[in-house]
């Protein structure tokens, strides 16, 4: 006669009559390990056209004349990666040459700021100016969230006064962002 041996693994029968695998006598968990990640913010900066910009020429005349041209691309880069907005201002020195052409009288020099092309999250509002002294706001960013950029190409127009002397006139335009 042949004998059969039945091997039964160690199982427990639960209260509901189901077989349940054996559990260790005790299990332990740690209280957890805190983790952090840091995202570093960068700088708020502005770039402007690098070389001299020729706004054009007008013939000498007995009447006031206006000459205008695009300045070139101005770009604000906000890598602070926060929620603070920013404001761009512009100012200029009086034109010097054979005589002076002021930039502080309304209508003497205009800065037409078109809407900026924006990347990232920021609502940027433009503001044109009819004089460049004292410094005046030309772009304002609100609703900022994280890194963003804004770029625009303003047009400058200079009113050359009646009877201006022939020659080359020079000024320096300055943009700033804060």
pLDDT in tens, 109-141: 999 999 999 999 999 999 999 999 999 999 999
User: What token pair was written down for 6?
Assistant: 């039945």
pLDDT in tens, 33-87: 999 999 889 999 999 999 899 999 999 999 999 999 999 999 999 999 999 999 9
Q: Find, among 171, 93, 72, the residue nearest to 135 by Cα.
A: 93
C-beta atoms surrounding 59 within 10 Å: 7
């Amino acid at each position: 006669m042949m004998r059969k041996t039945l091997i039964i693994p160690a199982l427990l029968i639960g209260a509901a009559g189901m077989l349940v695998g054996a559990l260790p006598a005790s299990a332990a968990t740690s209280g957890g390990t805190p983790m952090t990640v840091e995202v570093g913010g960068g700088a708020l900066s502005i770039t402007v056209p690098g070389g001299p910009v020729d706004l054009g020429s007008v013939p000498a005349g007995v009447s006031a004349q206006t000459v205008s041209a695009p300045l070139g691309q101005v770009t604000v880069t906000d890598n602070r990666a926060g929620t603070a907005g920013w404001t761009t201002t512009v100012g200029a020195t009086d034109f010097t040459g054979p005589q002076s052409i002021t930039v502080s009288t309304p209508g003497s020099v205009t800065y037409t700021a078109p809407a900026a092309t924006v990347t990232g999250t920021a609502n940027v509002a433009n503001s044109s100016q009819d004089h460049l002294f004292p410094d005046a706001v030309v772009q304002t960013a609100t609703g900022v969230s994280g890194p963003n950029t804004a770029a625009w190409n303003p047009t400058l127009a200079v009113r050359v006064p009646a009877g201006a002397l022939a020659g080359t006139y020079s000024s320096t335009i300055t943009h700033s962002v804060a």
